[in-house]
Structure 1
Amino acid sequence: MDATPPLIVILEDDTGLRRAIERLLTLSGFGTRTYGSADGPDLPMHASSAHCLVVDVQLPGRSGPEFYAALPDPRPPVVFITAFDGPSTRHELSRVQKYILLNKPFLGKELLEAVDAATGKIP
């Protein structure tokens, strides 16, 4: 029996936060792949096959929503995270049909609930 945990791809440029999210999700039974920018050569492949994505809105280079919109359909569920929620962020997210947005700082419990909600799992 294959016991591979569901894969969550984390796209966050802040190293400390990226590691904290990775640790939380790993301890919660998920497999993780982490990236500091949207330019990782194997990122599109892993993102397309992920159970869920956790993506920072503001990234160096290509933004989180731009990266997500460029993925082929069907795209995995996504939880966007941002420290700058406002009209420009909401405009940036307008190209994404369905998403969950968490404002930094957030509690670990809130992230886990968002991942559950994004993937249709009832917490």
Structure 2
Amino acid sequence: MDSHSHRILVVEDDASLRRALQRMLTAGGYQAECYGRAEDLEAVQAATCLVLDVQLPGISGPAFYARLSPPRPPAIFITAYDSPLIRQAIASAGGAMVLPKPFSGNVLLQTVAALLVESRPGAS
């Protein structure tokens, strides 16, 4: 499966960062759909990967992810407030990948690629 067939859903409340994330992912060859609130997401199970801001208006990224029914796509959580407590909330929700803000486009693309390889059926 090439990167063009990967559908990445991004939830980030900051409009300028949301646009930047979409540009970075699109330049990396992914189909990127962006939203300002987790409640606006539809057809999450059809996504290859989620990029979720931790602190969102309404439901938080980790709380949203914890509510998803299996099978759920793997997620990368982004946060400007990295701390052990935040990482614990992410882990409790079933997430593992955290990118502290600010991060470069290359780091985002490398993290998405690593997560997709890691979550591929048969990968160990």
Short-chain TM bin: 0.7 to 0.9
Q: What does the per-residue CA deviation read over 1:68-120, in whole Å, with 9 as the maximum and x for residues that have no partner?
A: 11111011111100000113312321323342100000011100011011111
Name the structure 1 match of 2:109: 112
> Which ranges of structure 2 fall in alignment gaps of 5 or more residues?
119-124
Distance (whole Å) between structure 2 residues aligned to residue 90 and residue 27 of structure 1: 29
Distance (whole Å) between structure 1 residues aligned to residue 94 and residue 52 of structure 2: 15
Task: Give matches, 1:55-74, under 5 Å.
Answer: 55-74=52-71
1:87 to 79, 84, 87: 84
Once superposed, what is the RMSD of the aligned Cα atoms?
1.7
Distance (whole Å) between structure 2 residues aligned to residue 63 and residue 98 of structure 1: 13
Distance (whole Å) between structure 2 residues aligned to residue 8 and residue 32 of structure 1: 5
State, as a whole percentage, how many aligned pairs show the same letter.
46
Distance (whole Å) between structure 1 residues aligned to residue 84 and residue 27 of structure 2: 35
TM-score w.r.t. length of structure 2? 0.86
Q: What one-letter code is carried by the residue in structure 2 that aligns with 1:22?
A: Q
- The 8 Å contact of residues 66 and 94 in structure 2, kept in 1 or not, is answered as no
Shift of 1:5: 2.6
- The 8 Å contact of residues 82 and 104 in structure 1, kept in 2 or not, is answered as yes
TM-score w.r.t. length of structure 1? 0.87
Q: What one-letter code is carried by the residue in structure 2 that aligns with 1:71?
A: L
- The 8 Å contact of residues 50 and 76 in structure 1, kept in 2 or not, is answered as yes
Distance (whole Å) between structure 2 residues aligned to residue 91 and residue 59 of structure 1: 17
Distance (whole Å) between structure 2 residues aligned to residue 39 and residue 17 of structure 1: 19
Shift of 1:6: 1.2
> Which ranges of structure 1 fall in alignment gaps of 5 or more residues?
none
Q: What one-letter code is carried by the residue in structure 2 that aligns with 1:52?
A: C
Distance (whole Å) between structure 2 residues aligned to residue 22 and residue 31 of structure 1: 9
The alignment of Structure 1 onto Structure 2 pairs a total of residues equal to: 116
Name the structure 2 match of 1:9: 9
